[in-house]
Amino acid sequence: MPDVEPVILVHGGAGTISDFAKAERVIAGVKEAAKKGYQVLRSGGSVVDAVQAAVELMEDNEVFNAGRGSYLTLDGEVEMDASIMVGSDLSAGAVTVVKDIKNPIALARLVMEKTGHVLLAGEGAKRFAVDQGVKPLEPGALVTPATLEALAKWKLKHGGAPSEMGTVGAVGIDSKGRLAAATSTGGREGKMAGRSSDTCMLGSGTYADDEIGAVSTTGHGESIAKFCLAHAIIRGMGNGESADEATKKCIDVMTQRLNNTAGAITLSRTGEVGIGFSTNRMSWAYQKKNKLYFGIDKNQCSCDDV
């Protein structure tokens, strides 16, 4: 395999993102995350280190629906899901319904590296975190005034409207063509306690295979899970479609068949970029060499020199 130009591509979630000031913060957040991931790669980190670092930065930024800033369950609690996958050997780890963990993506990585399992849930996942030296936060530490307000509003109108903000995710490729993907979420607005999302499901929220490509998705989780959106995109590329074709086509088909919206970011094994969403907006950014590309609206792409 000839050398590949490294890329770190991130998304900050598909949604309506109707508030102008919020959109600005979201765009700044994805740009920072893509740059962070690229820096990690450039300073000798692995591609999995890079996607993890990019996602952690967004988990720590309360403008995003992941980590602090996650949407609340109907009971007013934060319950998060995350998954991470390495394309060279298909190793993967995930967590679901975890509470009081600052960086669920780091815990998913520990599941991948320190257990013989793929997915740990709830209390067991938290106990594993403690065993691994991860100190849980005080209950409520991940709740923000904005998410409390969002829950109150959701209850008043009793749901229905598409989410304002989605999941966060990152995909990366290094110069040797090694791929990784990582996705983390607080889930959907108005979700029941104990609900698991597509984000913790390999093939739905996250997938990476060095022979084909890497994908991270966002949007209506139940539909993404039924459609196995990440793997559908991988299959499309396996059948000869470009990363962008496969991404846009699968999102269109999923949206038509299941009548719900989604978004995804994709890298092919040669480092081609795919970006698609059927929501109004989806923030994304990627760094390749010294260029940082980013956008939030359909058919929009801006570029900074970095």
Binding residues for substrate: 195-198, 218-221
Q: Residue 4 or 55: which CB sits closer to ligand ASP?
A: 55
167 touches ligand ASP (CB under 6 A):
yes
Contact map string, positions 180 to 199, toward ligand ASP, x by CB under 6 A: -----x-xx--------xxx
Tell me if 278 contacts ligand ASP by CB under 6 A: no
Q: Does 203 bind ligand ASP (CB under 6 A)?
A: no
Provide φ and ψ at 224, rounded to 5°. -60, -40
The per-residue b/e assignment along 80-113, b for 16 or more CB within 10 angstroms, e otherwise, is bbbbbbbbbeeebbbbbbbbbbbbbbbbbbbbbe
CB of 7 to ligand ASP, least distance (A): 22
Q: How far apart are CA 67 and CA 105, in angstroms?
A: 9
**Which residue, 12 or 271, has its beta carbon nearer to ligand ASP?**
12
| Nearby residues of 136 by Cβ (< 8 Å), 6 or more positions away | 99, 100, 101, 126, 129, 130
CB of 261 to ligand ASP, least distance (A): 9
Active site (annotated) includes residue 73:
no
- Rounded Cα–Cα distance for residues 205 and 167 (Å): 9
Which of 268, 158, 295, 129 minimizes the C-alpha distance to 212? 268
Using the contact rule CB under 6 A, the part of the chain among 33-41, 107-115, 219-227, 228-236 near ligand ASP is 219-227
Smaller CB separation from ligand ASP, 13 or 37: 13
Catalytic member of 167, 185, 199, 217: 167
Sign of the CA dihedral with 118 first, then 124, 128, and 133 last: positive
Give the list of residues 6+ apart from residue 44 with CB closer than 8 angstroms, or none: none
Q: Examine residue 96 and tell whether it contacts ligand ASP (CB under 6 A).
A: no
Q: Does residue 205 contact residue 175 with C-beta atoms inside 8 Å? A: no
* Interaction between residue 103 and ligand ASP (CB under 6 A): no
Nearer to ligand ASP, 229 or 243 (CB): 229
Would you say 177 or 221 has its CB closer to ligand ASP?
Answer: 221
**Measured distance CA(286)–CA(278) in Å, rounded:** 20
Is residue 305 classed exposed, middle or buried when 0-12, 13-18 and 19+ CB atoms within 10 A define those classes?
exposed
The span from the CA of 60 to the CA of 103, in Å, is: 8
Told to check if 37 binds ligand ASP by CB under 6 A, we report no
Binding mask 135-164 for ligand ASP (x = CB under 6 A): ----------------------------x-
Size of the site for ligand ASP (CB under 6 A): 14
- Contacts to ligand ASP by CB under 6 A: 13, 163, 166-167, 185, 187-188, 197-199, 218-219, 221, 224
